[in-house]
Amino acid sequence: MSLLNFPCRLLAALAAALKMATLAIAAEVPFFTDNGYGNPVSSLQHPAAEHYQGVTYVAYQGPHEDPYVAAYNHATGKWTGPVQAGVNLMGKSPDQIDPSELDNHGKPALVIDRKGYIHLVFGSHGGDPKFGKNPLGEFFMGTKGKMTHVVSQKPGDISAWRVVDNLPPFGTYNQWVKFPSGDLYLFYRHGGHRSDWVYQKSTNDGLTFSAPVSVLKHKVSSASPAINDSWYAWFEPGLGETITASYVYHPCANPKHNAHRQNVYFMQMNARDGNWTNVQGDRLTLPVTKESADRFTLIEATGTVRSTHGTCHVDANGYPHVAFPVGRDIRYYRWDGKAWQKPVSVGAGHGRVGDGDFIVDSPLSVRMILSTEHDGDNEIGWWNTEDGGLTWTKGNILISSKVLSFGTTAIVRNAHPDAVMLLGSRDATEPHLYRRMFLVGARGPLGRLAAEASQLGDRLEAIKSLPPPNRAKAEAKKKKKLGLDDEDP
């Protein structure tokens, strides 16, 4: 039968159905992909994103815990990718639904060299013993994986990648520091808990790296043989040719692990000569021990109150500003040239405050992005101070949801105003471990067409038909085995 013989009513219904289908395909969603996996991002592996020549490149943990990369062109408003950039040896079934089966420590850190090639380092939680002896750390608590370095085959092109086997296999919490000169520094923990924090330097765009240099020393504690001195650290460019380090102490119990971290510290490196000093300029002996850290670099002793790795940035004077999660707060500290200003809790009274990062506009003007939960709303938004952190006011909200919660990264390197932070989301009602990924900035999330953002297709429906795991039991098992959460162990 030809369409000419169709009743007008049926033709109208067919046209309406086709229109609805077209609109559904063309509809825009606020996320750029739905294949983030487990805990796909963290502020500890950083940066996870960089803006370069009009494009923001983002990296996150996708299916099988493998690294994925996507790119947003600010001129065209179009997304490219995501593309799988490598293989994480710790990955299991890509459709795993039991969170206790994921490691989540092999998330990628991204940097772009002066020629425009994109580098990722990922894939290790201390390194598998099969790769040999770790000279700067111990195999502890099921260390596994292999620290892997991949580079894009063409500048600015995420479509193809190659492995560059020029790093030890033992890294955890990879962090890139890049100087305007093009020099690259890779900081990481050289193994499991009981391992030194080290850096390796490249002066030829990641083709080769210098041998690891130990910065923070792991050892049996002088206070008790049942404790091992361990650390969680965050490294960032300072003023000129300097690198800052903000860190917390982890009294790692022997023979089993505990989740406690305490105290907050700061020091910095002069990259011209490799010397490290405290904030007063006193030279430190490397690697820094617990005794030396307490004497020369301590900002605040938190005692039994748990602290977590913080972020650090400097102002035009080179003075550090740092923010650490301490207890249930985010505490902001500022060096005024003579002393550390008394810490202030940012976002106090506005519900649960999570992780975040900040931008220093001047010695007294700072903008901080925080994750907060208040009256059922999960928000990612700005908090601002104009008096050096003595008081803070709530600013614009970048994204909010009553259903989704958000995991944050460090602020995008060289961020475009429209793309300042990469986020992974979680819907607690979903019976799977896939996460929607968001890139947010001044215009909110930079979304895309639903058909382009959907990477999983019918896989989610198949997963939903599986019996859900006992999440409470799985989480309790993980906490007992590894500590409080899967970011810090």
What is the band of 18 on the pLDDT scale with cuts at 50, 70, 90? very low
Please count the residues of the chain: 489
Residue 473 has pLDDT above 90, yes or no: no
- Point out the catalytic residue in the list 37, 72, 173, 332: 173
Both tokens of residue 7?
């009743």
**Of residues 25 and 161, more confidently modeled:** 161
Residue 258 has pLDDT above 70, yes or no: yes
Q: How many Å apart are CA 416 and CA 105, to the nearest integer?
A: 28
**Of residues 260 and 141, more confidently modeled:** 260
Q: How many Å apart are CA 133 and CA 230, to the nearest integer?
A: 19
Residue 114 sits in a domain whose CATH number is: 2.130.10.10
Q: What's the confidence (pLDDT) of residue 140?
A: 73
Q: Active-site residue 105, yes or no?
A: yes
Residue 472 has pLDDT above 60, yes or no: no
Q: Active-site residue 250, yes or no?
A: no
What is the band of 464 on the pLDDT scale with cuts at 50, 70, 90? low
In a domain, 21, yes or no: no
What is the band of 197 on the pLDDT scale with cuts at 50, 70, 90? very high
pLDDT tens digits, one per residue of 273-305: 999 999 999 999 999 999 999 999 999 999 999
In a domain, 59, yes or no: yes
**Of residues 23 and 103, more confidently modeled:** 103
pLDDT > 90: what percent of the chain? Answer: 76
Contacts of residue 267, Cβ cutoff 8 Å, sequence gap at least 6? 244, 245, 276, 277, 278, 279, 284, 288, 296, 297
3-class secondary-structure state, position 391? coil
Q: What's the confidence (pLDDT) of residue 351?
A: 79
The whole-number average pLDDT for the span 466-488 is: 52
The whole-number average pLDDT for the span 72-94 is: 94
Q: How many Å apart are CA 285 and CA 277, to the nearest integer?
A: 9
What is the band of 489 on the pLDDT scale with cuts at 50, 70, 90? very low
pLDDT averaged over every residue in the chain: 89
pLDDT tens digits, one per residue of 224-244: 999 999 999 999 999 999 999
User: Which of these ranges, 61-65, 89-93, 264-268, has the smallest mean pLDDT?
Assistant: 89-93
Q: What's the confidence (pLDDT) of residue 460?
A: 74
Note whether 343 and 379 are within 8 A (CB).
no
The whole-number average pLDDT for the span 116-140 is: 93
Q: How many beta carbons lie within 10 A of that of residue 393, not counting itself?
A: 9
Q: Which of 95, 107, 96, 102 is nearest to 408 (CA)?
A: 107
Helix (H) or strand (E) holding 459: helix 459-464
The whole-number average pLDDT for the span 247-260 is: 86
In a domain, 12, yes or no: no
In a domain, 118, yes or no: yes
User: Which of these ranges, 64-73, 251-260, 409-418, has the smallest mean pLDDT?
Assistant: 251-260
In a domain, 156, yes or no: yes
Query: Taking the chain, what is the end-to-end CA distance rounded to the nearest angstrom?
Result: 68
- Whose tokens are 């085959």? That residue is 153
Q: How far is CA 23 from CA 28, 63, 82, 135, 449, in A?
A: 9, 29, 23, 59, 10
Note whether 91 and 128 are within 8 A (CB).
no
Contacts of residue 108, Cβ cutoff 8 Å, sequence gap at least 6? 45, 48, 59, 60, 61, 67, 69, 85, 86, 120, 121, 122, 174
Q: What's the confidence (pLDDT) of residue 259?
A: 82
pLDDT tens digits, one per residue of 27-58: 999 999 999 999 999 999 999 999 999 999 99
Tell me which amino acid residue 349 is: G
Q: What's the pTM?
A: 0.91
Q: What's the confidence (pLDDT) of residue 143?
A: 83
Residue 485 has pLDDT above 50, yes or no: no
Residue 4 has pLDDT above 60, yes or no: no
Q: Which domain holds residue 339?
A: 31-482
The whole-number average pLDDT for the span 11-36 is: 63
Both tokens of residue 298?
């301590």
What is the band of 248 on the pLDDT scale with cuts at 50, 70, 90? very high
In a domain, 408, yes or no: yes
The whole-number average pLDDT for the span 387-408 is: 96
Environment class of 211 (CB within 10 Å of its CB; exposed 0-12, middle 13-18, buried 19+): exposed
**Of residues 130 and 99, more confidently modeled:** 130
- Point out the catalytic residue in the list 51, 105, 250, 416: 105
Query: For 395, how many CA atoms within 13 A lie in the half-sphere containing its CB?
Result: 18
Tell me how many domains the chain contains: 1
In a domain, 15, yes or no: no
Helix (H) or strand (E) holding 237: strand 227-237
In a domain, 6, yes or no: no
Q: How many beta carbons lie within 10 A of that of residue 407, not counting itself?
A: 23
Q: Which of 334, 325, 337, 236 is nearest to 280 (CA)?
A: 337
